[in-house]
Structure 1
Amino acid sequence: MAKLILTHEVTGLGAPGDVVDVKDGFARNYLMPRGLATVWSKGAEKQVAVIRSARKSREIATLEDAKAIRDSLQSKPVVVTAKAGASGRLFGAVTTTDIAEAAAAAGAPAIDKRKVEIGQPIKAVGEFTVLVRLHPEVSATVTVKVVAA
């Protein structure tokens, strides 16, 4: 077993700053190469405090605020404009950054791109559903409408 400090949120494992024990292969082949975790050591405990304080500043403070943001995000679809071919296929894909920026431009409260989870890559014009984790207890299901530019 390998003891690691998560530097990014990993679904099903933990949030940034968490110290986790995972199997060696998972650490060596998935978490470490993608930069999602670093090796734990006594000196790295200082790094954990920095990661946790940065996470606290980005998080939504209360459950009520998270529910209010969820209601505003779910009330109307987020419209993302992207370059597309004649068949409706996009040149590239819609990213979490695109969705977060489009939501902010539409007047919704700012959301962190790292909290947006896209199930399947969005590579065509149409309506898609994405999950936004606003708080440990609150998630929003947001409709993303992709239109051709």
Structure 2
Amino acid sequence: MKVILIEDVKSLGKKGQMVNVSNGYARNMLFPKKLGVEATPKNINDLKLQKAHEDKVAKENLEAAKKFKEELETKQVTVSIKVGENGRTFGSVSTKEISEAAKAQLGYEIDKKKMQLANPIRELGTTMVPVKLHPQVTAELKVVVKEA
């Protein structure tokens, strides 16, 4: 029996996939647990429409991310840090502080987990911080660290 999976099934397949299973497995396992539906012409058509809609939404999200990348790369965020003698800094600037500064200065909600900063910033000056906006789009945010 051909079945369209509604949810991911561990040893069978991913959501939206059409698989061939035995009648008993479909009737006793997949249908009662709402893991799949029978592959009727109506359900197959619904699956095609759903995939087309998901593709359209994914394309719109990619375009929005590219537009936001262009906008973000023209901006800069300024963060202050305490500095002692000989230009030694006390502490460091983390992604959390950069995220808060971006919200305060630019009005952008940038998730600190999306910033790909290998190590916290420990020196004064300008640093380019990569921000992953989309799996295919990464922007560079200019962060200026100055003396408090």
TM normalised by structure 1 equals 0.54
Q: 1:81: how far off?
A: 1.2
Aligned letter for 1:73? L
Q: Deviations over 1:68-99 (max 9, x none)?
A: 22122210221111112133322111100011
Q: Which residue of 2 aligns with 1:118?
A: 117
Matches within 5 A, 1:1-149: 62-149=61-148
Q: Deviations over 1:3-60 (max 9, x none)?
A: xxxxxxxxxxxxxxxxxxxxxxxxxxxxxxxxxxxxxxxxxxxxxxxxxxxxxxxxxx
Structure with max Cα Rg = 2
Q: Which residue of 2 aligns with 1:34?
A: none
DSSP-derived class of the 1:91 partner: coil
DSSP-derived class of the 1:87 partner: helix
**Runs (5+) with no aligned partner, structure 2:** 1-59
Aligned length: 89
Matches of 2:123 and 2:104, distance apart in 1: 21
Alpha carbons 2:95, 2:120 under 8 Å: kept: no
Instruction: State percent identity of aligned pairs.
Output: 43
Matches of 1:102 and 1:111, distance apart in 2: 10
DSSP-derived class of the 2:106 partner: coil
Matches of 2:69 and 2:137, distance apart in 1: 8
Matches of 1:93 and 1:140, distance apart in 2: 22
Aligned letter for 2:143? V
Alpha carbons 1:133, 1:139 under 8 Å: kept: yes
TM normalised by structure 2 equals 0.55
Alpha carbons 2:79, 2:145 under 8 Å: kept: yes
Alpha carbons 1:69, 1:109 under 8 Å: kept: no
Structure with the higher helix share, 1 or 2: 2
**Runs (5+) with no aligned partner, structure 1:** 1-60
Alpha carbons 2:73, 2:142 under 8 Å: kept: yes
Matches of 2:68 and 2:85, distance apart in 1: 36
Alpha carbons 1:128, 1:144 under 8 Å: kept: yes
Matches of 1:87 and 1:135, distance apart in 2: 41
